[in-house]
Amino acid sequence: MQMLFVTATGTNVGKTYASLQLIKALKSKGLRVGCCKPIETGVVGTPLDAAALLDACRQGNSAFASLTPKDITAYTFALPAAPYCADTDHSIDPAQIMQKIKSLQSMSDFLIIEGAGGLMVPITRDYFMIDLLQDIGCSALLITPSHLGCINETLLSIEALQRRSIPFEWCVNLREDGEMFRQTTQPFYDTYFQNWWSLQDGLEQFVSRVLKKIQ
């Protein structure tokens, strides 16, 4: 059984989109793919990100067919904010999150875990999203944006992962400012990084690398 933690430089960068594409690609290779959205905020009724992930997993993994979106989350909160701020009762227990991940992992050949916000988003006062990632002990896929200013966000996130010695790959989601990206950002990436790739063009090759590691 294997896992991948999908994170990003911040919110609304493309974690759910990337997770859905990964689920689709891994399912096409014959794997029983599972999913987990440990914490989702901004929830009124159904957690929408969790629902989208679960819908993608149901076909191809019968163990997930009877689950509800809240079954693949450990905590949901109404306030659209960092978990620590949304959790006004301070109810979050990281051990419960780990137990949820362990349970869903046992139902899958490969588990996609989608984080909330970026790496330094607080879950509790002293426990951040990157701490959860480190405790899980799996590799990460960092999704970075393509808007002006994204170099700074990308380098800070990469530095945080490297400082913790967390194995990761990263890719750019070219959904915005695509033309400007080629002028304002790509020249630096081409010079500084030999193997950077975009979510739109490099996902299949990434999945192939993942499969080689688990076979």
CA distance 141 to 167: 9
DSSP-derived pairing of the beta strands 139-144 and 168-172: parallel
157 & 127 share domain: no
Q: Kindly state whether residue 67 falls inside one of the protein's structural domains.
A: yes
Number of separate domains in the chain: 2
The whole-model pTM stands at 0.96
The radius of gyration of the chain's CA atoms, rounded to the nearest angstrom, is 17
SS3 209: helix
> Residue 183: what are its φ and ψ, rounded to 5°?
-95, -40
To which H or E segment does residue 124 belong? strand 122-124
Task: List the domain range (segments joined by +) for residue 181.
Answer: 141-215
- Is residue 164 included in any domain, yes or no? yes
Whether 213 is catalytic:
no
Catalytic residue among 37, 100, 102, 213: 37
Same domain for 132 and 69: yes
One pLDDT digit (tens) per residue for the chain, 215 residues: 599 999 999 999 999 999 999 999 999 999 999 999 999 999 999 999 999 999 999 988 999 999 999 999 999 999 999 999 999 999 999 999 999 999 999 999 999 999 999 999 999 999 999 999 999 999 999 999 999 999 999 999 999 999 999 999 999 999 888 789 999 999 999 999 989 999 999 999 999 999 998 87
User: Tell me, what CATH number does 107's domain have?
Assistant: 3.40.50.300
Q: Is residue 1 domain-resident?
A: no
Question: Quick one: 34 and 90 in the same domain?
Answer: yes
| CA distances (Å), origin 55, targets 24, 42, 72, 106, 157 | 11, 19, 11, 19, 30
Quick check: 133 and 115 in contact, CB under 8 A?
yes
